Amino acid sequence: MKEESKMTRRQVVAGLGTTLAAAAVVPAFAGNGLNLKPADGVKISDPTTLHPKPPFKSQPQPWPGLQSKMDPVPDCGETSYKGSGRLMGRKALITGGDSGMGRAAAIAYAREGADVAINYYPTEEQDAQEVIALIKKEGRKAIAIPGDLRSEEFCKSLVQKAIAGLGGLDIIVNNAGRQQSINSIVDVTTEEFDSTMKTNIYAPFWIIREALPHLPAGSAIIGTTSEQAYDPSPDLYAYAQTKAATMNYVKSLAKQLGPKGIRVNGVAPGPIWTALQISGGAQPEKQQMFGSWTMLGRPGQPAELASIYVQLAAADASFASGQVYGSSGGVGQP
């Protein structure tokens, strides 16, 4: 016991050095009434005033809508997102990459060093070309692949075109979604129900199945689910159940593909200001007050989720799989 209570000479010297260092540092910070401040130019922002608040004007558009014609135009990080090389050399396919959260992810990925292929519906070409230009501005490959995700053959060709254009594939973001607000189930036609299922559930299945043989260990698959998976709105009967299915496939595939070194995660947004809302995704009165019920008093902007898509794709999140990351202004789940 006596031996255990003794301090070695090395421990004494180390302890003395630590004490002297602390004594030297404390006066430097505490003396002369010095106030520590953030470095020059570093600012924080009040999230309640950072982006536009409702009411918004009524602005219906035919499906799938163009965000460039919205008022206010959604912020997808075009001028704000700053990259730091976290995805250097990666190769990503993003569905719904012309607008909303897919656009925000595409811009962020390019600024983090990734080459990016985006898919979009042919009528969204105007918005898509803006994204392509932004990706190219970063010196990255930008591949535009328009087409209808409700077609199995197109989904197969989409993957093959992305692989050929990018020279490989190691990130898949299944983001495109169809959302139509219909108050009663009796008014949901079989055609509408089928379109929603094929866009939101079948397309990710077809895309992942086609891509899997080409995905190396270290790849990431990300699905866009929603707070609707946890707390469905009565007027989004079809859409909400597809988001619950998305959450489920994220967790299922994470278990299946984990041993192969492929991570699968999801992003669950709350009310985000995108073209979904003005192209049939919300009732007119809800669209005009969209996001007013959040704790921040406004809807989120796609740019506010960009860093989540980056994090889930980045190599330093290598232990995150089967996770669903929420972003809902304080009202949603998870």
Instruction: Find the catalytic residue in 237, 239, 249, 325.
Output: 239
- State the residue for tokens 């999801």: 266
Instruction: Give yes or no: 239 in active site.
Output: yes
Nearest partner of 284 among 76, 55, 53, judged by Cα = 55
Instruction: Map the chain to HEC letters.
Output: CCCCCCCCHHHHHHHHHHHHHHHHHHHHHHHHHCCCCCCCCCCCCCCCCCCCCCCCCCCCCCCCCCHHHCCCCCCCCCCCCCCCCCCCCCEEEEECCCCHHHHHHHHHHHHCCCEEEEEECHHHHHHHHHHHHHHHHCCCCEEEEECCCCCHHHHHHHHHHHHHHHCCCCEEEECCCCCCCCCCHHHCCHHHHHHHHHHHHHHHHHHHHHHHHHCCCCCEEEEECCHHHCCCCCCCHHHHHHHHHHHHHHHHHHHHHHHHCCEEEEEEECCECCHHHHHHHCCHHHHHCCCCCCCCCCCECHHHHHHHHHHHHCHHHCCCCCCEEEECCCCCCC
Q: How far apart are the first and last CA of the chain?
A: 52
Nearest partner of 311 among 81, 93, 105, judged by Cα = 105
Q: Regarding beta strands 324-327 and 263-269, do their DSSP bridges make them parallel or antiparallel, or are they unpaired? A: parallel
Torsion 49-290-331-200 (CA) sign: negative
Residues with catalytic function: 239
